[in-house]
Amino acid sequence: MDIINIKSEDWLKNAGICGLYNILCEAGDREKIQISYDEIIFPIELLENFSEKYFNYFIKTYQKTFSLYKIISTGKTLENWINNDFNDFNDKSLEILNSNIENFKKYMKSNSYKSAYKLIEGNFDPELEEKELKKIKLKKKENVEDRLEEIKHQVNLMKSIVDYFKSEEAIKYVGAKNSIYNIIRNAWDGVSFLNKQCKNPDMYSEYQEYFINPVIDYAKNYEEKKKTYKYQCISCSSKIKDLNSDVGFIREMGFDTGRKTSHVWDFNNYVGICPICKFIYSCVPAGINYVYNRGIFINYSMNMEDLFRINTSIRESILEEENSRISVFKSLQEAMNKKINDEVGYELSDIQVVRFYRDIDNDSIKYNFNIINKPVLNTINFCKNQLETIKKGSYIENDSYVYIYNEVIKKLLDNENQFLLIQKLLHYKLSMPDTTYYNAGVLASVLKLNVKYLQEVGYMEKSKSNSKDGKERDIIDEARKLGYHLQIAYNKMIAKDDNTENNNSKNNKKYNKKLNSIAYRMLNSLKTNNKHSFMDVLINSYMYVGKAIPKIFAENLDKDLEFKNIGYAFITGMIGYSKEDDEADSESLKKKN
């Protein structure tokens, strides 16, 4: 067996194939790989020294997220202080210095770093140097100049530490340790260099011996040897000698066949895998696109070229995106938009989205699985402008920032409407405005996206305009404008009752308390699907200002979903601003984010 053929299968195997492809491409072996519709073929010679390619991929791809990079990147700041002879060193600089010293000591004392030091040749002793690092705290009557010599010593010491970690061997071994615990362990654990009983300190040779050498041995004279094998690989159906290898090392996917035979039929283990499949599964971390404690993989099993292209596009977008808080979903949206624009009639019934979450505190992971169908993709593609607007919005919940873009995309992937989110956003805007960083334009965008989704899945019909052009009627903008006009009328009436003059709501964006009360009652009515209660509040409000009730409510009274969207849009306008005010408010919104 001079070549290895690997066929696409389930999402986990495909993630491994995608990871293998990424590693080989990064190593410059792309031209030696043949890609067909549902398989990849490559010469077995590419596995020689594969462990170097394996770790190099992770180090190069994720280096900016590693603690090693944080140490190395400090070098520029240190050099600036030294080159300027500390003339611009001040109290703020001392704070930065002490913060860096704290980080250096934390990283350098960690067990993973200490185990890497043993593999790095040279006379520099990082453990000894770390002990000399000490934060500098000024006394009451002291200033920076009084401790300048001590500061210079600490800066020079840190500079020598940075130079050590910039060395080729330090990047190789410390970078590999960062890769293991930040990326690789997301997917698998408990074997090879992640086995606590592993005696080989060199992760490169250990990976080669555990995963690669068995593949090479297995491939030699396979056609002859398979005649004596009585078992089959559960993944690819190749003949195997025994059942000693299984998928138990894959986190949240496998199980220990030695301990839990109850997981297999009649308590008899049959879930062995061949060395080639085991090797492929070890490449899963290179196939899933990670950003800190989240990750995503698009399982497009119909075509290997598209599988690689879509996931490569997402990976590049994630790593380039400055705002990592929404980059996973933003990258998914952009990849899907590109796909549907590239190929007319693109079908999505077979695209699986695998989302990864890691809980650092509990040392646990979980996967969420969704199938992207055509209505969802059409919604994402049609609502590009709305999604761009939504990216600006966030709110605080349980002392943490929640980004509206993420919540909207999650609901789309789960094939859910946005009503609960809209209810929450309006409620928070009324009750806790200081914790909400979004304007009425963001709310309107969520509503428009919700309308489009409900139309795509067939629960709502497109509203035809009364104009001759026959364009679709924008019920969200129409209802929002009506709510805004009611706000103006209400403020005029209250100003008249109170004999006050400043009644322009554009200059008084803090809408009055009566409108708050009305909005609360309307929200409760919509939440309980009580249209009659909503109409009672609406009628009383229009009677107070002496105006006719808008026809849009009567026209949609018998349409539950249309009425609900219109109702939320009306409240958005009633407690929000005009469309022009939204644009003027965008700069302050960016600052809050």
pLDDT at residue 579 above 60?
A: no
pLDDT digits (tens, 9 = 90+) for 80-117: 999 999 998 999 999 999 999 999 999 999 999 999 99
Edge to edge, the sheet with strand 351-359 lists 289-291, 294-300, 351-359, 364-372
With bands split at pLDDT 50, 70 and 90, how would you rate the model's confidence at 344?
A: very low
Q: Helices (DSSP H) in 295-363: which residue ranges?
A: 304-320, 327-342
With bands split at pLDDT 50, 70 and 90, how would you rate the model's confidence at 239?
A: very high
pLDDT at 260: 52
Q: Return d(Cα 228, Cα 379) in angstroms, integer.
A: 55
β strands within 394-487, DSSP E: 394-397, 400-403, 436-437
Q: Return d(Cα 175, Cα 180) in angstroms, integer.
A: 9
Please, what is the Cα angle at 46 between 41 and 52, to 5 degrees? Answer: 135
pLDDT at 510: 44
pLDDT at residue 397 above 60?
A: yes
Average pLDDT over residues 120-141: 93
pLDDT at 584: 44
pLDDT at 492: 82
pLDDT at residue 511 above 80?
A: no
pLDDT at residue 407 above 60?
A: yes
pLDDT at 591: 46
pLDDT digits (tens, 9 = 90+) for 63-78: 999 999 999 999 999 9
Q: Return d(Cα 408, Cα 329) in angstroms, integer.
A: 10
pLDDT at residue 499 above 70?
A: no
pLDDT at residue 286 above 50?
A: yes
pLDDT at residue 506 above 70?
A: no
pLDDT at 589: 44
The reported pTM is: 0.79
Asked if residues 133 and 101 have their Cβ atoms less than 8 Å apart, the reply is yes
Cβ-Cβ contacts under 8 Å for 409 (sequence gap 6 or more): 329, 332, 333
pLDDT at 348: 44
pLDDT at 327: 56
pLDDT at 265: 43
Among candidate residues 434, 452, 450, the one with its CA nearest the CA of residue 442: 450
